[in-house]
Structure 1
Amino acid sequence: MPARAKAAIRSLRPGKSTLKWLVVLSFFDAFATDMGIRLRAIHEANPFAAYLYETDPTVFYAYKIILPLLLYFLIQNVSETSFLKKWILIVTLIYGLLALYHLVWMILVFVL
């Protein structure tokens, strides 16, 4: 395998930067969801998160932020080839797509 291909594959391995993105994207998801619910533009699709939001938006934010932060601190004790690290990469990519979804509805609500 060429060195360039190996470097590309290595760059896809989740590390601290992937987890930092997960934390940032999770916060953005919480903020955008909160804004969308307050503007009555969207509703929370996850029943558990909706329950937390209805209980108290602060609890909702804590749930959205604490889980990725917990992963951030726990992942440091996991081997480089761990299945968990691969799932973190997948979850981060999904959160990235969710962020794009939020940006689309924000544009539709605020611009159009």
Structure 2
Amino acid sequence: MKLIFYSLAILNSIDATMTFLGLKLSLIEEANPTMRFLYETEPLLFLGLKLLLSIALLVFGWKNVFPRISWFKPLIYTALSLYAIITCLHAKWVFQVIT
């Protein structure tokens, strides 16, 4: 479970950075209404909140703090899968921009 939390933290940081740059350069639009609102309110608030989540995931992994709820494991694996897909989408548009 520790590796999953670390992986999520890394993928979330990549997502935060790529989304922030993509929005800043007007290459993409934020699909998540909550994150779009944060970015439109204050771009650094958007980035800070995303990076704070990554730090929290790293701390939870480091401290071995994992909820013992039956639905938590499927939820965390789903989140990891979605972040992996999102990271691939970001890589695709970055590749399209630089080529």
TM-score range, shorter chain: 0.7 to 0.9
Structure 2 runs not aligned, ≥5 long: none
Number of corresponding residues: 96
Moved over 4 A (4+): none
Cα distance change of structure 1 residues 58 and 42 upon mapping to structure 2, 3 Å threshold: same
Deviation at 1:31, TM superposition (A): 0.6
| Deviations 1:30-60 (CA, angstroms, capped at 9, x unpaired) | 1101111122110111111011111222211
The equivalent residue for 2:76 is: 88
**Which TM-score applies when normalising by structure 2?**
0.83
Q: Which amino acid aligns with 1:76?
A: V
The equivalent residue for 1:108 is: 96
The equivalent residue for 2:23 is: 37
Structure 1 runs not aligned, ≥5 long: 1-14
**Which TM-score applies when normalising by structure 1?**
0.74
Q: Which amino acid aligns with 1:93?
A: S
Q: Which amino acid aligns with 1:21?
A: S
Cα RMSD between the aligned structures? Answer: 2.0
Instruction: Give % identity.
Output: 31
1:23 and 2:12 equivalent?
Answer: no
Cα distance in structure 2, aligned partners of 1:77 and 1:37: 33
